[in-house]
Amino acid sequence: MLTALTGAHGDRPDAVTVAGRTSSYEDLLGAARAVAADIGGARAVAVSATPSLETVAAVVGALLAGVPCVPVPPDAGPAEREHILRDSGATPIEADFARRGDHGTTEPAAPGDPALILYTSGTTGPPKGVVLSSAALTADLDALADAWQWTAADTLVHGLPLFHVHGLVLGVLGALRTGSRLVHTGRPTPEAYAAAGGSLYFGVPTVWSRIAAEPQAAAALSGARLLVSGSAALPAPVFRDLHALSGHRPVERYGMTETLITLSGRAGAEVRPGTVGTPLPGIRTRIAAEPGADIGELQLTGPTLFSAYLGRPEATAAAHTEDGWFRTGDIAAADADGVHRIVGRASLDMIKSGGYRIGAGEVENALLDHPRVREAAVVGVPDPDLGQRIVAFVVADGVTGSELTDFVAAHLSVHKRPREVRFITAVPRNAMGKPQKKRLLTDEFEERT
């Protein structure tokens, strides 16, 4: 899987840069081989996934040794860390760049064996370990390299966490697969992205929103080849601002820990805001919609899907349909050309109000089109008359709730207007910028706002 490290693209003295420190492929491979020599035969190893060359070397070392690697969020609390280590049976390890290993006798895992165990966010219970094989990883990275015309000539820039699919699998292993130079900025600030001089940039909506808010930083990306956004929906106003300032229409893609990336826009093709493109090669999708509805749960099958939830056969079975398709839990629609649009999560973003099925994302995008709205999160709350009523949590200045309700009603169908607008100081988000909507409905959150 690590073709760049095996010499397919030649060595580069500045092949990998993380938080200002640079390594050649040769030095990275030497440090990784030292790790591999130490951990051979282990059940699994855990890596505190700080943005560092040591994290990259430790993950690569585990792959070389054929030992499943468990990236742990460096800011994980004691309870979360203890759960991950206990559940996975992983032994914590560290890499030392001062050490070098030789080829040794380690043997990589077979393509179908576990390579990574990534833990979910645990929104519906304790975090579950998602087992990913090297076959799934390589299938996904090769498909994305084709979709994004990603080659060894690129310089990839991002500053994303190294314990998620986006930052680690795409943002590190993708570079080591294609041979592209990697610049991890440590933190994904507009200034760092602007100064990096990349051809390919990865970001989440929070990152792109902050860059769009600084015109000089956005303009500095005009020399890039492709901007990619993922992990959450990119608001249409941010898409438009980036296009106006940088000349780029960001490509959006869709994926989950359990599926890796399955849908994406293509480099050089038409890109429409609010869409996540078409299925990657080998991926099949279907929309499980109720009769008469044009949106429903997105279900998937293909070579990039996870092997199982670690030690949870019942949860693994429950995540699949009787005929073996994975239930994403996301509500989506697809047009006649196969271009998909994600409406939101079935549990929170499919609102049933007054007999209508309404996607929260559509209402959020309408609110974000208002010039005084900076953030918006829409949920459905129980209502004795409507079943659910639409409630909008908004970060804005100089506008009233009734004005925003009227604004949405003028842009969308009247039944999609918020019945209530609550003004807050910030939408709560996780490390990848995804809104944590359940927190909006807690007393703890409302007391803070």
- Per residue in 364-406, pLDDT (tens digit) is 888 998 999 999 999 989 887 787 899 999 999 999 999 999 9
- Residue 151 confidence (pLDDT) above 70: yes
Q: Where on the phi/psi map is residue 226: left (φ > 0), alpha (ψ -120 to 50), or beta?
A: beta
- Residue 190 confidence (pLDDT) above 80: yes
Task: For residue 400, count CB atoms less than 10 angstroms from its CB and return exposed for 0-12, middle for 13-18, buried for 19 or more.
Answer: exposed
- Residue 327 confidence (pLDDT) above 80: yes
Domain spans, the chain: 3-254, 350-448
- Per residue in 242-256, pLDDT (tens digit) is 999 999 999 999 999
Work out the average pLDDT over 224-231: 94
Work out the average pLDDT over 231-235: 82
Work out the average pLDDT over 149-154: 96
Banded model confidence at residue 125, pLDDT cuts 50, 70, 90? low
Whole-number Å distance between alpha carbons of 363 and 386? 17
More confident residue, 443 or 4: 4
Work out the average pLDDT over 151-176: 96
The H-or-E segment that residue 285 falls in is strand 284-289
Task: Quickly name the fold that domain 350-448 has.
Answer: GMP Synthetase; Chain A, domain 3 (3.30.300)
pLDDT of residue 121: 65
> Helix (H, G, I), strand (E, B), or coil: what is residue 195?
helix
Whole-number Å distance between alpha carbons of 231 and 445? 23
Structural contact between residues 445 and 428, judged by C-beta atoms closer than 8 angstroms: yes
Structural contact between residues 61 and 46, judged by C-beta atoms closer than 8 angstroms: no
Domains 3-254 and 350-448 share a fold: no
Residue 188: closest CA among 360, 9, 431: 431
Task: Quickly name the fold that domain 3-254 has.
Answer: Rossmann fold (3.40.50)
pLDDT of residue 448: 40
Banded model confidence at residue 232, pLDDT cuts 50, 70, 90? confident
- Residue 447 confidence (pLDDT) above 50: no
Work out the average pLDDT over 342-351: 75
Compute how many other C-beta atoms are within 10 angstroms of the C-beta atom of residue 386. Answer: 18
Q: What is the pTM of this model?
A: 0.82
The conformation of residue 90, written as its DSSP 8-state character, comes to P
Work out the average pLDDT over 8-35: 92
